[in-house]
Amino acid sequence: MRTRPLKVALLGCGVVGSEVARIMTTHADDLTQRIGAPVELAGVAVRRPSKVREGIDPSLITTDATALLKRGDIDIAIEVIGGIEPARALITTAFEQGISVVSANKALLAQDGAALHAAAEAAGLDLYYEAAVAGAIPLVRPMRESLAGDKINRVMGIVNGTTNFILDKMDSTGAGYQEALDEATALGYAEADPTADVEGYDAAAKAAILAGIAFHTRVRLDDVSREGMTEVSAADFASAKRMGCTIKLLAILERAADGESVTARVHPAMIPLSHPLASVREAYNAVFVEAEAAGRLMFYGPGAGGAPTASAVLGDLVAVARNKLAEATGPGESAYTQLPVSPMGDVVTRYHISLDVADKPGVLAQVATTFAEHGVSIDTVRQQGKDGEASLVVVTHRAPDAALSGTVEALRKLDTVRGVASIMRVEGE
Ligand code: NDP
Ligand code: HSE
């Protein structure tokens, strides 16, 4: 057992960082045994130095993260600041200083993962980021390492805790959107700017990271087709309920049947109540991975929050510390397939379309003809009339997204269609 400690710089001490510091302190002896050397919290970089931070020696606090990394004795940096800058510059500085990095920063990894991986590899250092996707759930390392001998064809899951919390509250208690978002924020689930959660950017960043790992290719945030959940209404939930469904914000990554391209998307979708994802409540996440030999695997657990996320960070810290002692590194980026990412129009799925129409003879036939003209086959239609107007709900069979967009564009031009109230994809059947 080595007695000289491995020194850790903690960059950020908010919801996640404060829990990392707490567990490093309270579990110090166990961590020492598991690593084979003590790990010492050698410095904590924050923005507001005067804030009271329970359990942290005030002499460790600094506002100069760069100086902390450059002081010459740091072995491992944990980046839990979030956002693009200064996180990117700090991780780059760490690599220049010979320091391995553990990060929870999905936004940065989805935007600049390739460059950061390259910098780590060039310096012979580790970049680990289990906490960046699905909080406490071991998912990144199982996909990078345990499934490295298999071929992953599809990944579908709930990867944002905040939006799952909001949708769950709207569905189960009838809570309003803002009330549920405020609660998720108070519980430490939301990003610094919760727009990242509700508009789907956070889930899209995680989707980009998972797609890269699953398909051994590079997928950036901009490659992921993204729709948030701010438009999901009580009427959508009522409609979903009538179909025996609920609504979840899903990330779906697919390899094309010919294996020559992939798709990556994030959007709200109706899923049957019998589907395992339908029972994922509150800020929990769940991810299905379909691999050629393994079949269908499901990963489930807390997807956000300080302590759950710190668990994933600490797991990475132990792995990186062990690598340091062995003078080795873990697996780097694997992007050898270089598969193109196809546009959303190529995605094939089912749709639930809610229309406000005039309630008069021939309207239903006109609407049905428009679907047929665009090659979209109708599965069910439900009409409810009221005072000369009617609400028409059409559920389709599987069709390309481009065909559905063409249908909706044409429907909007019909005099008898007063408006398209909502369009939602139907998944998981
Ligand atoms: P917080 O906003 O709670 O914490 C951010 C921390 O960074 C704060 O301690 C803040 O200092 C510090 N900080 C901000 N700017 C600087 C700077 N320029 N220099 C030094 N320190 C700075 O964020 P979270 O802990 O929630 O999230 C951290 C990361 O973890 C993000 O990448 C997030 O996406 C990711 N993550 C978060 C999860 C969660 O459930 N919260 C789950 C999974 C991942 P100060 O305390 O002084 O304000
Ligand atoms: N804001 C994120 C979420 C944190 O709600 O899932 C976990 O990555």
DSSP annotation string for 111-158: HHHHHHHHHHHHHT--EE-GGGSSTTS--HHIIIIITTTS-EEEEEEE
Find the mean pLDDT for residues 109-125.
98
**CB 130 near ligand 2, within 6 Å:** no
Residue 18 has pLDDT above 80, yes or no: yes
Residue 191 has pLDDT above 80, yes or no: yes
**CB 199 near ligand 2, within 6 Å:** no
pLDDT digit string (tens) for 226-285? 999 999 999 999 999 999 999 999 999 999 999 999 999 999 999 999 999 999 999 999
| Model pLDDT, residue 345 | 97
Residue 387 has pLDDT above 90, yes or no: no
**CB 134 near ligand 2, within 6 Å:** no
For residue 229, the Cα-to-chain-centroid distance in whole angstroms is 14
Rounded Cα distance, 202 and 204, in Å? 5
The confidence band for 422, taking pLDDT boundaries of 50, 70 and 90, is very high
- CB of 111 closer than 8 Å to CB of 220: yes
| Model pLDDT, residue 226 | 98
Which of 162, 209, 229, 282 for mutating ligand 2's site (highest number of atoms within 8 Å of CB)?
162
| Model pLDDT, residue 429 | 76
Which ligand is in closest contact with the Cα of 106?
1
Helix (H, G, I), strand (E, B) or coil at 192: coil
Residue 262's φ and ψ, nearest 5 degrees, are -135, 160
- CB of 163 closer than 8 Å to CB of 247: no
Rounded Cα distance, 9 and 52, in Å? 19
Ligand 1 geometric centre to CA of 40 (Å): 21
Contacts of 170 (CB under 8 A, 6+ apart): 176, 177, 180, 232, 234, 237
Share of the chain above pLDDT 70, in %: 100
Residue 351 has pLDDT above 90, yes or no: yes
The confidence band for 1, taking pLDDT boundaries of 50, 70 and 90, is confident
Which ligand is in closest contact with the Cα of 184?
2
Rounded Cα distance, 53 and 251, in Å? 36
Rounded Cα distance, 412 and 198, in Å? 27
Nearest CA to ligand 1 atom 33: 82
Average pLDDT score, the chain = 97
| Model pLDDT, residue 43 | 98
**CB 371 near ligand 2, within 6 Å:** no
The confidence band for 403, taking pLDDT boundaries of 50, 70 and 90, is very high
Rounded Cα distance, 42 and 17, in Å? 14
Residue 212 has pLDDT above 90, yes or no: yes
Task: Supply the DSSP symbol for 345.
Answer: G
CB atoms within 10 A of CB 74: 20
Ligand 1 geometric centre to CA of 385 (Å): 51
How many Cα atoms within 13 Å fall on the side-chain side of residue 428? 25
Which residue type sits at 96?
A: E
Rounded Cα distance, 202 and 106, in Å? 7
H helix or E strand, kind and range, residue 187: none
Rounded Cα distance, 370 and 381, in Å? 14
Strands (E), 238-345: 245-255, 262-272, 284-291, 295-302
Ligand 2 geometric centre to CA of 302 (Å): 10
Which ligand is in closest contact with the Cα of 202?
2
**Domains in the chain: ranges and CATH:** 6-135+307-326 (3.40.50.720), 140-302 (3.30.360.10), 346-426 (3.30.70.260)
| Model pLDDT, residue 202 | 98
Residue 305 has pLDDT above 80, yes or no: yes
| Model pLDDT, residue 69 | 98
Share of the chain above pLDDT 90, in %: 97
Which of 23, 81, 101 for mutating ligand 1's site (highest number of atoms within 8 Å of CB)?
81
Residue 62 has pLDDT above 90, yes or no: yes
Rounded Cα distance, 24 and 262, in Å? 40
Number of H helices, E strands in the chain: 14, 17
Residue 386 has pLDDT above 80, yes or no: no
Residue 2 has pLDDT above 90, yes or no: no
Strands (E), 46-95: 61-62, 76-79
Q: Which atom of ligand 2 is nearest to the CA of 285?
A: 6
| Model pLDDT, residue 204 | 98
Q: Which atom of ligand 2 is nearest to the CA of 163?
A: 5
Residue 388 has pLDDT above 90, yes or no: no
Rounded Cα distance, 115 and 117, in Å? 6
Q: Which atom of ligand 1 is nearest to the CA of 190?
A: 41
Q: How far is CA 208 from CA 203, 227, 262, in A?
A: 9, 14, 11
**Residues that are catalytic:** 206
**Among the listed residues 263, 276, 328, 295, the one whose alpha carbon sits nearest the alpha carbon of residue 126:** 328
